[in-house]
C-alpha cells in the first residue's frame, strides 16, 4: 500500500467537500423555521420537545434549495429523547444551534420507550444535513455516571448516547459544544461522507464510556481541528469503518484515539484505510491504540499514525491483540488480523514504561508494521531531571510482530530491525 497516495486522496476529498452553511446573500428558495414560532419556551425547564418536532416537520418537508431550523441564542431548550428523521425534501437542511439544548437533569426524568433510551438526539436518513453552532448540547451525564450500579445495574448498562447521526450522507457538523453525555458524546453510524470540524467535546476525566466521537460502519469520515476532553476514547473507530481521516485533534484527558475494540465474542469485524495525523495528546491514558479481542476474526489494515505529539501520556503506542478489560478472559487461537500499520514522526513524553507495546498473537502475528522517526522519552527525563525513580519495565515490548524501522527510533524495537526481516 502507498500511504502517501492514500493521504493525497483523502485530503483532496476533505478540501473539496468543505462547503458549509452560507451566511451570504439570502437564497430566494430558502426558508427559516424558528422554534419559537412553534411554541418553544426556552427557559431550560419547560419541555420543548413537541415544538422542536413540529418545527422539524416543516423544515424537513420544505421544498427548496435550503431549509433552516433555527434555535435562537441566549435561551436553553429542554428536550426529551428525540429523533429528527428524513428523508427531507430540501437540498440542504441546516440545523442551526445558536442557543443551548439540555437533556433532563436526572435519569428518572427521561421519557424513554420501554424505559430504555438508546440515545438522546438522533438525526437519521438525511442527505445534506448541516449542523452548525455556536450553541451547546448538554447531555446532563453526571447523574447517570454516579448511579449505584449494584442497585441500578440495568440503568448503568443502558446509559443513552448523546448525539447520533445514522443512515445519512453528506453531513457537516461544525462549531458546536457537546458536553456531558451519559454515554458516547457523539456517535456516527451507518453513514457516509461526514465532515466534522471545530468542535469542543467535554466530560469529566473519570466519566464512564463517554467516548468523544465514535465511528461505526461509516465510509469517508473527516474529523478535523477539534478539542476533546473526556473519560474514555477521544475518538474510537469501530467495525465497518473505511476511509477515516482524523487531524488536528487535541485530546486529553481521555483514553487517546483507538481503533476498536474489535472481535468481541468471536465476531468478524474490519477497519481499514485510516489516517490519524497532527494530533496532540495531553495526560491521556493512551496515545494511538489498536485493540482487538482474543478469539475475534476480521482485519485491521492500512493505518497511518503521523506527526503525533505526546505530553505525559501513559501508554503512547499500543497494538493489543489480547484486549480484555475484565478479569474473566479466556485464551483463544483466533485473532483479528493486523497488518500494514505505519507510525511516523511521533515525539514527546510518557509517564511510565513501556512506552511502546506491540502485543500480537502467535497464531495471527502482526505483519508489515513500520516505524519511522519515533522519539518518546520518560517524562522526568524530558524535564531534565537527573535523578528519578526508574521503572523495572523495559521501554518497549514487542511480541509476534513483523516489520521494519527506519530513521531514529527511541525506544528501540528489536523486532522491527530491518536486517532481521
CA distance 71 to 135: 9
The C-alpha cell that represents 166 in the structure block: 445514522
Helix ranges (DSSP H) in 39-122: 49-61
3-state secondary structure of 105: coil
Per-position DSSP letters for 371-400, written without gaps between them? EEEEEEEEHHHHTT-S--PPPSS-SEEEES
CA dihedral (326, 353, 270, 416) positive or negative: negative
Q: How far is CA 406 from CA 2, 229, 345, 367, 417, in A?
A: 16, 33, 11, 16, 8
Q: How far is CA 103 from CA 54, 74, 117, 139, 181, in A?
A: 18, 17, 12, 5, 9
For cell 501508554, what's the residue?
A: 315
Whether 118 sits among the annotated catalytic residues: the reply is no
Q: Among the options 167, 255, 345, 347, which is catalytic?
A: 255
409 burial level (CB within 10 Å; 0-12, 13-18, 19+): buried
CA nearest to 293, candidates 236, 334, 345 = 334
Q: Is the dihedral of CA 11, 240, 254, 351 positive or negative?
A: negative
Grid cell listed for 65? 434549495
Under DSSP, the state recorded for 291 is E
Residues 6+ apart with CB under 8 A from 99: 42, 71, 72, 73, 74, 75, 76, 77, 135
CA dist list (Å): 220 to 13, 124, 166: 9, 17, 14
As annotated, the active-site residues are 255
Amino acid at each position: 500500500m502507498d500511504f502517501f497516495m492514500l493521504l493525497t486522496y483523502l485530503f483532496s476529498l476533505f478540501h473539496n467537500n468543505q462547503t458549509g452553511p452560507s451566511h451570504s446573500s439570502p437564497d430566494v428558495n430558502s426558508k427559516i423555521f424558528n422554534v419559537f414560532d412553534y411554541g418553544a419556551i426556552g427557559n431550560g425547564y419547560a419541555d420543548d420537545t413537541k415544538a422542536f418536532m413540529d418545527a422539524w416537520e416543516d423544515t424537513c418537508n420544505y421544498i427548496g434549495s435550503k431549509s433552516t431550523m433555527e434555535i435562537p441564542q441566549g435561551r436553553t431548550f429542554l428536550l426529551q429523547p428525540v429523533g429528527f428523521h428524513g428523508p427531507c425534501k430540501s437540498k440542504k437542511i441546516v440545523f442551526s444551534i445558536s442557543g443551548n439544548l439540555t437533556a433532563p437533569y436526572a435519569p428518572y426524568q427521561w421519557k424513554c420507550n420501554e424505559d430504555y433510551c438508546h440515545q438522546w438526539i438522533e438525526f437519521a436518513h438525511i442527505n445534506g444535513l448541516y449542523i452548525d453552532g455556536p450553541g451547546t448540547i448538554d447531555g446532563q451525564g453526571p447523574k447517570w455516571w454516579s448511579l449505584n450500579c449494584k442497585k441500578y445495574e440495568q440503568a448503568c448498562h443502558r446509559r443513552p448516547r448523546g448525539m447520533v447521526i445514522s443512515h445519512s450522507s453528506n453531513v457537516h457538523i461544525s462549531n458546536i459544544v457537546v458536553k456531558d453525555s451519559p454515554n458516547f458524546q457523539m456517535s456516527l453510524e451507518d453513514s457516509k461522507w461526514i465532515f466534522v470540524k471545530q468542535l469542543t467535546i467535554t466530560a469529566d476525566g473519570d466519566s464512564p464510556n463517554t467516548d468523544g466521537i465514535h465511528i461505526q460502519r461509516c465510509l469517508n469520515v473527516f474529523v478535523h481541528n477539534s478539542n476533546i476532553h473526556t473519560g474514555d476514547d477521544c475518538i474510537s473507530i469501530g467495525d465497518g469503518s473505511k476511509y477515516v481521516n482524523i487531524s488536528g485533534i487535541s485530546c486529553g484527558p481521555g483514553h487517546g484515539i483507538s481503533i476498536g475494540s474489535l472481535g468481541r465474542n468471536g465476531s468478524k469485524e474490519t477497519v481499514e484505510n485510516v489516517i490519524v495525523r497532527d494530533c496532540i495528546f495531553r495526560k491521556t491514558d493512551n496515545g494511538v491504540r489498536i485493540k482487538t479481542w482474543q478469539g475475534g476474526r476480521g482485519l485491521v489494515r492500512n493505518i497511518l499514525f503521523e506527526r503525533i505529539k505526546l505530553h505525559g501520556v501513559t501508554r503512547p503506542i499500543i497494538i493489543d491483540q489480547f484486549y480484555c478489560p475484565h478479569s474473566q478472559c479466556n485464551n483463544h487461537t483466533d485473532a483479528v488480523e493486523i497488518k500494514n500499520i505505519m507510525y511516523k514522526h511521533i515525539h514527546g513524553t510518557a509517564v511510565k514504561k513501556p512506552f511502546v507495546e506491540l502485543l500480537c498473537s502467535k497464531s495471527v502475528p502482526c505483519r508489515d508494521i513500520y516505524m519511522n522517526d519515533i522519539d518518546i522519552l520518560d517524562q522526568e527525563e524530558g524535564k531534565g531531571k537527573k535523578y528519578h525513580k526508574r521503572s523495572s519495565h523495559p521501554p518497549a515490548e514487542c511480541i509476534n510482530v513483523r516489520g521494519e524501522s527506519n530513521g531514529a527510533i527511541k525506544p528501540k524495537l528489536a523486532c522491527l530491525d530491518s536486517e532481521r526481516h
